[in-house]
Structure 1
Amino acid sequence: MLKLGGARLLDDRDASAVEAALAEAPVAGCMVSARVEIAGLEPWRLGGELWGIERGLLRGGRLDGLCFAGPNLIPLRGSSSEWRVFADRALRRRRMCSSLVGPAEQVLGLWSELAGEWDTPREIRDHQPLLAMSGQPRVTPDPLVRRVRPDELNRYLPAAVAMFTEEVGVDPGLEDGGAAYRARVAELIAAGRAFARFEGDEVVFKAEIGAMSNAVGQIQGVWVHPERRGEGLGATGTAAVVDTLVNRLDRTASLYVNAYNLPACAAYRRIGFREVGSYATVLF
């Protein structure tokens, strides 16, 4: 593999350069921005490393390459030269991430450098439209969709597990009995970022704001009970989460969706989402 210099581990001294890079693509970079705004750039607080490449001689200048390496590997900026450098750094240690995810050009470019060196992925989703909206939803929000309370974790969790298993193809309880996933769901509930429509003790719609920066909230985990699909609950429920993000939290609402999920794509268009880019995901 061709080596072109190295990717530098960024820290708090690089804050202004990172902030400028992330501000250029606030929707695409929401997952990383949300972490950086809360924790800064030091790896022990960030929960991962932020790698940067700058062609200039002065620290703090424009970043030509930017990549987050943590539970997910998220390349945000670069071209073929930067992808080779990031791949070289990633290959210095065993694979730590469960996926590559982010802007499609970056993810697929980086994966082209890693393929054959890392183990074969379970699935490659090479086109996931990245959607955003900052206005009123065109679909009337479901008034019964609300924030999940902490004491409702046990009622909410089965729906979250079902969604994860259906979407990712892996039961989140297999590795550690579900402790880590349960803790993550509990964290989202405690932060007021898990939403559901309950009917009795059963969840018939759920969604979460998985990442939230100062400008953007990224919706994830949209799910409708299998016996209630086709009733429009996905559209009206998602509209309720959009309404919270746009009108109460003053954020742009965003999400990404598998292009082959035609019913979901149609529902999001009805709500008012527009395509602003494309994501890709490599799942291990």
Structure 2
Amino acid sequence: MRVLDQHDIAEFEQLLRRDPLTNLFVASRVAHLGLAPEQLGCAVYGYHVGGELVAACHVGANLVPIGDDRDAIDAFAEAIGPRRRVWSIMGSAQAVRQLHQGLVARWGDSWARTRDVRAHQPLMVTDTDPGIEGDPAIQRIGLADYEPYLDAAIAMYTEEVGVTPLDGSGSYQRYVRMLIQMGHAMGALQRVRGQASRVWFKSDIGSAWSGCCQVQGVWISPELRGRRLSIPAMAQVVRLCRQRYPVVSLYVNDYNTRARRLYQGLGFRTVGELATVLY
């Protein structure tokens, strides 16, 4: 096992392409920043068998195993060590489960004290436009509407994760601004004369690579829920995504049956299972 560098990019991409939708988060980061640790901001460990790269692990704020070779997972757990610096473990459900169990077995308490474990998150995908009309109010968000979009993004994150994304460093604000600049932020604004605009629906493209994207951060203002506004809103999101990326994916918690039915009605089908361990 060793830390991968930019010289390993071709072999690493071959590994990613074995399951591009599951690996989309890491693939997107590496495509934008490169594989060198000083550019990516973290190390990616690689595990070779007989000279072939069979597994890897992104060791940043998000710990992401790629591949589920048992010996590789054990080697990653050993190398990561007892001091937990990550916010989450995420990726293929099997690999996440194996890595989390390995870290707890090897290093104990610091890895055992989780805030939440979402063990079953169906990975869903569509490569066609929905069969229903989209809501034309849903558009790409521009920088002029950064502030109301940021407010909605903070509300979504806090509701979904249970803690605020704001940490005093400004990193979340920069992340939201970057999404807007990339054309990856979508939403609908309510404009009232004499009052500040507000975003009542939002969704982002969190990752994109090789013609595929992953939708995340779907949120609708609480007072508007239950009115079936999410269906045409998400139909429009899929159409906007497919203008740039033919394949649109997302993942959802298995217990969120309402959301799963909504996505199925828009043409999404389940192709795998992810998991997330939150700290």
5+ residue gaps, structure 1, are 1-6
Question: Which aligned runs of 4 or more in structure 1 are off by greater than 4 angstroms?
Answer: none
Give the distance between the partners of 1:137 and 1:49, measured in 2 at CA: 39
Choose from 152, 155, 160 the match for 2:148.
155
Q: What is the identity, as a one-letter code, of the residue corresponding to 1:118?
A: S
Matched, 1:213 2:176: no
Task: Work out the CA distance in 2 between the residues paired with 1:249 and 1:134.
Answer: 12
Residues 23-67 of structure 1 deviation map (CA, whole Å, 9 limit, x = unaligned): 1111111111111222221011112211111111x4xxx322111
Query: In the alignment, is residue 43 of structure 1 matched against residue 32 of structure 2?
Result: no
Q: Which amino acid aligns with 1:122?
A: R
Deviation at 1:117, TM superposition (A): 4.5
Aligned equivalent of 2:75: 85
Kindly provide the amino acid, as one letter, of the partner of residue 21 in structure 1. L
Is 1:191 equivalent to 2:174 in the alignment? Answer: no
Name the counterpart of 1:3.
none
Q: Tell me the CA shift for residue 95 of structure 1.
A: 1.8
Report the Cα offset of residue 219 of structure 1.
Answer: 0.5
**What is the aligned partner in structure 2 of residue 181 from structure 1?**
172
Residue matched to 1:76? 66
The question of 1:142 aligning with 2:135 is answered yes
Contact 2:189 2:198 in 1 (8 A): yes
AA aligned opposite 2:136: P
Asked if structure 1 preserves the Cα contact closer than 8 Å seen for 2:205 and 2:213, the reply is yes
- Is 2:114 the counterpart of 1:118? no
Question: What's the CA shift for 1:188?
Answer: 0.6
In structure 2, the residue corresponding to 1:83 is in which secondary structure?
A: helix
Distance 2:34 2:174 in 1: 23
> 1:4 maps to what in 2?
none
One-letter code aligned to 2:71: S
The AA in structure 2 aligned to 1:8 is R
Structure 2 residue corresponding to 1:204, chosen from 200, 211, 216: 200
Q: 2:194 matched to which residue of 1?
A: none
How do residues 227-246 of structure 1 correspond to structure 2 at under 5 angstroms?
A: 227-246=223-242
Normalised by the size of structure 1, how large is the TM-score? 0.91
1:133: which partner in 2?
126
* Segment drifting more, 207-216 vs 100-109: 207-216
For the aligned residues, what is the CA RMSD? Answer: 1.4
The 2-side partners of 1:38 and 1:251 are apart by 19
- Partners of 1:203 and 1:238 lie apart in 2 by 15
Q: How many pairs were matched up?
A: 270
Find the counterpart in structure 2 of residue 55 from structure 1. Answer: 49
| Among candidates 2, 5, 11, match of residue 8 of structure 1 | 2
| Aligned counterpart, 2:261 | 266
Secondary structure at 2:200 match in 1: strand
Equivalent AA in structure 1 for residue 6 of structure 2 = D
Q: Please tell me whether residue 109 in structure 1 is matched to residue 98 in structure 2.
A: yes
What residue identity is the alignment partner of 1:67? C
